[in-house]
Amino acid sequence: MDAAYLRQHYDRLESDELIRLRSTDLTPEAKVVLEAELASRDVAHSFSTVPASASALRPLDQSLLAPLWRRFVAATLDYAGLFFVLFGVNFPIYLYTPKTFSDLVAYASIGVALTYLFFKDGLNGQSFGKRLLKIKVLERATGDSCSLPRSLVRNAFNGLGFIDWLFALGRENRRLGDHAAGTYVVNA
């Protein structure tokens, strides 16, 4: 590719997309053009001195972070809502259908509940409770909404309960699951 084409291509991309390109395999010419484009936009750090993960290590703006009480209420709403929906479905089925059918529905409900609990934050970064409390889970490196794989990693730590939440008392209000998944929670 020639430099003119690269300049034109990079000019159309957002700065965060250009920063993500730094971590890909680029030709030396493409690296030079990329750095020139970033320099023209006043984006700090040169290609040779900053590792690709450096943007993931920048401090979070404390004013954007969701307060712990809102996160706790959102989690409580998620669990309570899931309980009431499953109870509302399973209890009448248990009362009025044969045991084999009600057992099948109960097992399917457990599967649905676990799927929701693990992947709830991968739905545009908001579970039902987070949407009600107007908070959102973002990926720290990119600022994008939490993805399904990151939601799985993040919520796998919920089983640790109090230990997981102890980490949220730190400066960045990030649970152990947030650290593992590379996520944080902000006011939406």
* Segment 13-39, tens digit of pLDDT: 777 777 877 777 777 777 787 787 777
What's the confidence (pLDDT) of residue 185?
93
Task: Report the alpha-carbon angle 153-155-160, nearest 5.
Answer: 110
CA distances from 39 to 7, 17, 91, 147 (A): 12, 14, 63, 30
Task: Give the integer Cα–Cα distance in Å for 114 and 92.
Answer: 21
In which band, very low, low, confident or very high, does the pLDDT at 54 lie, cut at 50, 70 and 90?
very low
Give the position of tokens 């430099």: 3
Alpha helices, H only, the chain = 3-11, 15-21, 28-40, 68-96, 99-119, 128-133, 148-156, 162-166, 176-181
In this prediction, residues 146-168 reach a mean pLDDT of: 91
Q: Please tell me whether the overall predicted TM-score, pTM, comes out greater than 0.75 for this model.
A: no
- Per domain, the residue ranges of the chain are 3-57, 68-187
Task: Give the integer Cα–Cα distance in Å for 116 and 96.
Answer: 26
